[in-house]
Amino acid sequence: MEHTNPAELAVVDLACGRDDRLLFSGLSFGLRPGQVLLLEGSNGSGKTTLLRTLCGFREADEGEIRWCGQLLEESSYYADMAYVGHAEGIKKELTVLENLRFALALSQPGHYGIDEALQKVQLAGYDDNPVHTLSAGQKRRLSLARLLITHNILWILDEPFTSLDRQGIDLIETLIDAHVKQGGMVILTSHHDLSLHHIGLQRIHLDSCL
Amino acid sequence: MEHTNPAELAVVDLACGRDDRLLFSGLSFGLRPGQVLLLEGSNGSGKTTLLRTLCGFREADEGEIRWCGQLLEESSYYADMAYVGHAEGIKKELTVLENLRFALALSQPGHYGIDEALQKVQLAGYDDNPVHTLSAGQKRRLSLARLLITHNILWILDEPFTSLDRQGIDLIETLIDAHVKQGGMVILTSHHDLSLHHIGLQRIHLDSCL
Amino acid sequence: MSLTQAFLAIIRRDLLLAFRRRAEMANPLLFFVMVVTLFPLAVGAQPNLLQAMAPGVIWVSALLAALLSLDSLFRSDFDDGSLEQLLLSPHSLPVLVLGKIVAHWLVTGLPLLLVAPLLALFLGLPERAMPTLWLTLLLATPMLSLIGAIGVALTVGLRRGGMLLSLLVLPLYIPVLIFASSAVDRAASGLPVTAQINILLAMLLLALVLTPLPTAAALKMSVN
Amino acid sequence: MSLTQAFLAIIRRDLLLAFRRRAEMANPLLFFVMVVTLFPLAVGAQPNLLQAMAPGVIWVSALLAALLSLDSLFRSDFDDGSLEQLLLSPHSLPVLVLGKIVAHWLVTGLPLLLVAPLLALFLGLPERAMPTLWLTLLLATPMLSLIGAIGVALTVGLRRGGMLLSLLVLPLYIPVLIFASSAVDRAASGLPVTAQINILLAMLLLALVLTPLPTAAALKMSVN
Amino acid sequence: MTLESFLHMGGYAFYVWTSYGITTAVLLWNLFAPIVQRKQLLRQLALKQKRAQR
Amino acid sequence: MSIIPASVSRFFHRTASSPHFYALADKFIPWLIVLFLLLLIPGLYGGLVMAPADYQQGDSYRIIYIHVPAAWMSLFIYVLMAIMGGIALIWHMKLAEVMLISSAPIGAGFTFIALVTGSLWGKPMWGTWWVWDARLTSELILLFLYLGISALYGAIEDKRSAARAVSILALVGVVNIPIIHYSVEWWNTLHQGPTVSKMDKPSIHISMLIPLLLMAGAFKVYYAIAVLQTAKLELLKREATAQWVKNLLENKA
Ligand code: HEM
Ligand SMILES: Nc1ncnc2c1ncn2[C@@H]1O[C@H](COP(=O)(O)OP(=O)(O)OP(=O)(O)O)[C@@H](O)[C@H]1O
Ligand SMILES: Nc1ncnc2c1ncn2[C@@H]1O[C@H](COP(=O)(O)OP(=O)(O)OP(=O)(O)O)[C@@H](O)[C@H]1O
Ligand SMILES: [Mg+2]
Ligand SMILES: [Mg+2]
């Protein structure tokens, strides 16, 4: 929250591969507060690989990623971003509340309190349910509640709509919308069609990045 | 090949569940030589569960499955069927040829020889390549070659089109077509649109089977 | 193809696979050698003590090595779907499973037979006990594979099966351990061991006949 | 929240998880007890021999139990994505990792401290060696967790890591084993053990400071 | 010194010559195995390249 | 990078590029072979023929000319691997990774030789093939360390990750080296104390010492040759699809 230079993600000339196969190269883009980036591409085109590279899990084969003009390790990047991947990072044996409290302990408090966030993702009243009693869609919602209770500017979401019904999808679109309006940024992948047309939406098609 | 009663698969009043949740119930259908059954339904609707029940891996909660009028264990079912699931049952460390030879050893020889089959799935010349050097699409093709070299009447295919490009999809449709024309039967699931309209195609929508 | 051909094909394939994965294949053997090595380090260089412990140490280590090698019996087949194809084969499943167990023993048990005498020599086991050590290993290691197969078949579908597997299988290994190590102990003291060997032989024959059935049943359950 | 709070939160969460998964938690302890009991079965009822072997047997068994419990250190976090979230935390990863190791030791190492004296008694270890046995276990089991963490972190991404893990970790355990068991041995013979205990203490402090770094680096590599 | 006494090694022939033999074998293996494997790999790669060009 | 002068860093960068290294290795190997033979032949002649029999051990001591150099190499190579592991981790130098992983089988080979020749020497000297003393056992453990490194590298499919993993392991495992080296002094064991390596006053006759040093040199050069050969293979495996490999193949064809 105490950023002096404007938050900005800049990706320059990125190339990533798996084994010896190059997935994409020469990928460049910038993302500023209020913007959404939608990654498209067929199965295996490297969307997940790109997101994980942006998280710093993988090293890029070439190119660089900068946050507020600095390399990731030297910047406040990890305090400013949040990632929800295929695996949700939620403990099945713990309750909803315990999971969120732990997420909070690893990070800084964000815009919303836990109760408020659960309300927002329509999980109010499930506080003390162990997560393994939740349905797949409810689990997804819980992992999104984490985004609300912790401080972050950049959301990186890998197929956030999987296992969500129509109503769940609308909910996330609302959340993304609100986050972006508050000056946040979002990068996501999805095979669904998005109804986010009204905000500054960039699209990148990975199949064409070779 | 030495069947006196006509090959026929009959499913009567089948119900299956996972954990305590019922996935579908009251499902009945019959399949005769020359027919194709396409299972549809959203993710998690139980398509894979149904196929695995048909393979005898899972027991149905209710109902029964008959082959040529007999219960599966009492019939020649396992000599007459072949299954290609998500996991392909192919050893990465062995060569294409070694894999096919082993498949043959577990079963009876079918319509095609190994060379012919490899030709048909466009893998001719790859005989001695270890499978881990093949691409995902080529691996899929190899698992289909198994169907050609062994004796079988009923094919059970779980999403056979995954990781195949347009050309690969056409290829399989041709193979299915040929198999059905020779008096075979096919049960498959797919999220793709099929161009199999000209043959006796049944569709079952699992979401509506509750 | 006939059942015999299928049986042989399974053995041949698993041996080929083991050969292609040489590095992995050596692991149980290395583990065995390593555990045996731990004891002299733990009790210090006391030749007499080591010599007295030798049969027990060799046998407990062989047992643990067999235990830890068990996972590889069905793991990769389960992961890549080969197990499903095995279950769908029209041939008798217990026989096919026996094929897999035989191959597994050839790969993990047989090498123990080769290095165990060497380690026993290093530990100072008297030479007159060597033939007995070797014979008990020959009779008992297949049993370890056969009995263990039931345990793996039950747990192969679970992700965290490792510890559970030991708890299931170790109690079943105890009778083998008792007869085998007491035979070696007696041989080291120059006593006759015919009774122990006969019992081991009988147990092996029983295991050969009886264990493939429950293993096959457990596999069916695991694949669901 | 502050780094200390995060550190404590990790310990609290892992203990809570262990408590919810009680059944699994007991496994290393059971394994330990079972391996120790294998020895009397394997060498027969020879009280003097058992007594002489006792320090070695207890120590090797503790080591193997620690080894086999290691997998649970990062496995479930790796599978459900919690590990990724840990890596993305703005806090220092080595400190968070240390939190996980501490929790793991509390769950798997501490119980060994409680039953080991009992088992030692059964094996006939002289009573004057008990305090030393206990002290060495107290100093050395945390080291087993700390050193082992490096090995698990290196192999957590592999499906067939089990055997490989032993191969990697056992050589690193050797120094601990040598000093700890020689201390118990000396104590059993009534000799002074200050030197060994001091060395173990120094090793523990070194391990506390030095091992979280490579563990964190290895985890980063595994998550790729 | 005769060749015979040289080979006899003062009665320690077995130990000395086995040592030297095993050493030679291991060293040769570590030297030539990678060379042979590299030749094989190059042949494989060349074949692959030819196939790709066709 | 800032702690290294630019010229040095440029040199490393050039040498560290795979095709350049590959060509350089080809250039060096013949000279290394010549050097190897120049050390080996006088070493063997001096050791097996010229040096007198030991007054205690008779001719059996001639095993020293392979046992000791091999044992030294087994430790030396591991230390080298740890250093290369450090370089690979800090500067992400691919070549250090390749050299590290190529050294493992050669180090394992020397360790094996030290074990076998020591055992073959122990039988006539100590009357037993093996004793479980600290030095012998820790040398056996060293063999496991080498094998563990190779196994870990083989088990991780993504070779970039595998190289990182192996670098970490090599660095961590180096704690065992002092234990092996000082074991004879820390514990009283059957094994010989430092006789040769006490450089100020080696307690071994000069006619025995010179061939020993020649053999030690020969083994070092052998290591250089073997590691270059293995590294060439490893580079090809890792970069099979790179352009320089394609060029190489075209030049050959
Ligand atoms: C399997 C048995 C043996 C093993 C594993 C072994 C291992 C080793 C090792 C690792 C070293 C290098 C130590 C260092 O540089 O720090 C060494 C050196 C040496 N070994 Fe052995 N050894 C064995 C048997 C023997 C025997 C039987 C003898 C002679 C009676 C012997 C004589 C020597 C000598 C003279 C050195 C050189 C010591 C020095 O000056 O550094 N070794 N051995
Ligand atoms: N762990 C892995 N090891 C090796 N290759 C992998 C691994 N994970 C993915 N790949 C390969 O990398 C390529 C890109 O995978 P990635 O997961 O980034 O695709 P994606 O665009 O996210 O696809 P999807 O739409 O299926 O999620 C694929 O071809 C895949 O086969
Ligand atoms: N091993 C399992 N244990 C428990 N539940 C499972 C298991 N596998 C699947 N399920 C559940 O059973 C339900 C049906 O799964 P199934 O795999 O049959 O669906 P599907 O129709 O094949 O879906 P998809 O289109 O994703 O392949 C799902 O809700 C899933 O969560
Ligand atoms: Mg993806
Ligand atoms: Mg499915």
What are the residue boundaries of the structural domains of chain A, listed by start?
Answer: 34-56+78-208
- Does ligand 1 have an atom closer than 6 angstroms to the CB of F192? yes
- Does ligand 1 have an atom closer than 6 angstroms to the CB of F62? no
Cα of A43 from ligand 2 centre, angstroms? 8
Q: What is the pLDDT of residue D124?
A: 87
**Span A135-163, mean pLDDT?**
86
Is residue F120 within 8 angstroms of chain C, CB to CB? no
List beta partners, residue B95.
Answer: B130
CA B120 to CA F109: how far, in whole Å? Answer: 48
- Concatenated DSSP letters for F144-170? HHHHHHHHHHHH-SSHHHHHHHHHHHH
More confident call, D125 vs C160: D125
Q: Which region among C17-21, C57-61, C134-138, C180-184 has the lowest average model confidence (pLDDT)?
A: C17-21
Model confidence pLDDT, tens digit, residues B86-111: 888 899 889 999 999 999 998 888 88
Task: State the pLDDT confidence band at A99, using cuts at 50, 70 and 90.
Answer: very high
Q: What is the pLDDT of residue F91?
A: 85
CA B202 to CA B38: how far, in whole Å? Answer: 6
CA-based nearest distance C1→chain B, Å: 6
* Contact between chains at A91 and D17 (C-beta distance less than 8 A): yes
C88: nearest CB among B78, B87, B109? B78
Q: What is the pLDDT of residue B110?
A: 86
More confident call, F197 vs F247: F247
Return the residue in E16, E41, E47 with the most chain F beta carbons within 10 A, the one to mutate for interface testing: E16
Question: Is residue A37 within 8 Å of A101, Cβ to Cβ?
Answer: no
Question: Is residue D116 within 8 Å of D42, Cβ to Cβ?
Answer: no
E37 pLDDT more than 90 = yes
**Any idea which ligand is nearest the CA of A49?**
2
- Concatenated DSSP letters for B81-144? EEEE-SS----TTSBHHHHHHHHHHTS-B-SS-HHHHHHHTT-TT-TTSBGGGS-HHHHHHHHH
Listed residue (D144, D155, D150) closest to F172, CA to CA: D150
Listed residue (A118, F140, A106) closest to C122, CA to CA: F140
Helix (H, G, I), strand (E, B), or coil: what is residue F45? helix
Amino acid at E44: Q
Question: Is residue F109 within 8 Å of F66, Cβ to Cβ?
Answer: no
Integer angstrom CA distances of residue F185 from A181, C80, D185, F174, F177: 71, 53, 21, 19, 14
F1 pLDDT more than 50 = no
The number of C-alpha atoms within 13 Å of F143 and in the hemisphere containing its C-beta is 20
Phi, psi of A39 (to 5 degrees): -95, 130
**Span A157-180, mean pLDDT?**
82
Measured from the Cα of F74, ligand 1's closest atom is 10
Amino acid at B122: Q
For residue D160, count other CB atoms closer than 10 A to its CB: 17
Q: CB pairs below 8 Å between E and F: how many?
A: 90
Cα of B85 from ligand 5 centre, angstroms? 9
Neighbours of chain E (3+ CB pairs under 8 A): F
* Contact between chains at A136 and B44 (C-beta distance less than 8 A): yes
- Concatenated DSSP letters for A132-147? GGS-HHHHHHHHHHHH
Chain C residue closest in CA terms to F128: C122
Q: Whose CA is nearest to atom 2 of ligand 3?
A: B18
* Contact between chains at F141 and D218 (C-beta distance less than 8 A): no
CA F52 to CA D143: how far, in whole Å? Answer: 50
C223: nearest CB among B57, B81, B130? B57
Two structure tokens written together for B185? 């039967």
Give the predicted TM-score (pTM) of the model.
0.82
* Contact between chains at D154 and F165 (C-beta distance less than 8 A): yes
* Contact between chains at D164 and F151 (C-beta distance less than 8 A): yes
Question: Is residue D176 within 8 Å of D140, Cβ to Cβ?
Answer: yes
Two structure tokens written together for F121? 């020497």
Cα of D143 from ligand 2 centre, angstroms? 38
Model confidence pLDDT, tens digit, residues C71-99: 889 988 988 899 999 999 999 999 999 99
Is residue B1 within 8 angstroms of chain C, CB to CB? no
Over chain D, what is the mean pLDDT? Answer: 89
* Contact between chains at D214 and F168 (C-beta distance less than 8 A): yes
Question: Is residue B202 within 8 Å of B40, Cβ to Cβ?
Answer: no
Listed residue (C179, C133, C135) closest to D41, CA to CA: C179
C-contacting residues in B 44-63 (Cβ below 8 Å): 52, 55-58
* Contact between chains at F151 and D167 (C-beta distance less than 8 A): yes
CA-based nearest distance D5→chain C, Å: 30
Cα of A46 from ligand 2 centre, angstroms? 6
Phi, psi of A16 (to 5 degrees): -135, 145
List beta partners, residue B150.
Answer: B109
Is residue C39 within 8 angstroms of chain D, CB to CB? yes
**Span A131-139, mean pLDDT?**
79
Specify the residue for token string 């049943």: C217
Q: CB pairs below 8 Å between C and F: how many?
A: 32
Listed residue (B147, B133, B123) closest to B91, CA to CA: B133
- Concatenated DSSP letters for E1-54? --HHHHHHGGGTHHHHHHHHHHHHHHHHHHHHHHHHHHHHHHHHHHHHHHHHH-
Taking contacts as CB-CB distances below 8 angstroms, the residues of chain F near C120 are none
**Span B13-22, mean pLDDT?**
84
Return the residue in C25, C32, C37 with the most chain F beta carbons within 10 A, the one to mutate for interface testing: C37
Class of the CATH-defined domain B34-56+78-208: alpha beta
Is residue D90 within 8 angstroms of chain A, CB to CB? yes
A60 pLDDT more than 80 = yes
Integer angstrom CA distances of residue F67 from A135, B19, F110, F120, F178: 66, 64, 9, 10, 19
Q: What is the pLDDT of residue A185?
A: 92
List beta partners, residue B9.
Answer: B31, B67
Cα of D135 from ligand 4 centre, angstroms? 51
Q: What percentage of chain B has pLDDT greater than the value 70?
A: 89
CA D168 to CA F149: how far, in whole Å? Answer: 8
Task: State the pLDDT confidence band at A198, using cuts at 50, 70 and 90.
Answer: low
Task: State the pLDDT confidence band at F2, using cuts at 50, 70 and 90.
Answer: very low
More confident call, D185 vs C152: C152
Taking contacts as CB-CB distances below 8 angstroms, the residues of chain B near C17 are 91, 93-94
CA-based nearest distance D138→chain F, Å: 22
* Contact between chains at E41 and F109 (C-beta distance less than 8 A): no
Task: State the pLDDT confidence band at F5, using cuts at 50, 70 and 90.
Answer: low
Question: Is residue D54 within 8 Å of D125, Cβ to Cβ?
Answer: yes
Taking contacts as CB-CB distances below 8 angstroms, the residues of chain C near D53 are 43, 49, 53, 56
* Contact between chains at B136 and A163 (C-beta distance less than 8 A): no
Cα of C156 from ligand 5 centre, angstroms? 21
Helix (H, G, I), strand (E, B), or coil: what is residue C91? coil
F10 pLDDT more than 70 = no
Using CB distances shorter than 6 Å, the residues near ligand 3 are: B 18-19, 23, 41, 43-49
Specify the residue for token string 């008096």: B183
C25 pLDDT more than 50 = yes
More confident call, A183 vs F200: A183
**Span B5-28, mean pLDDT?**
84
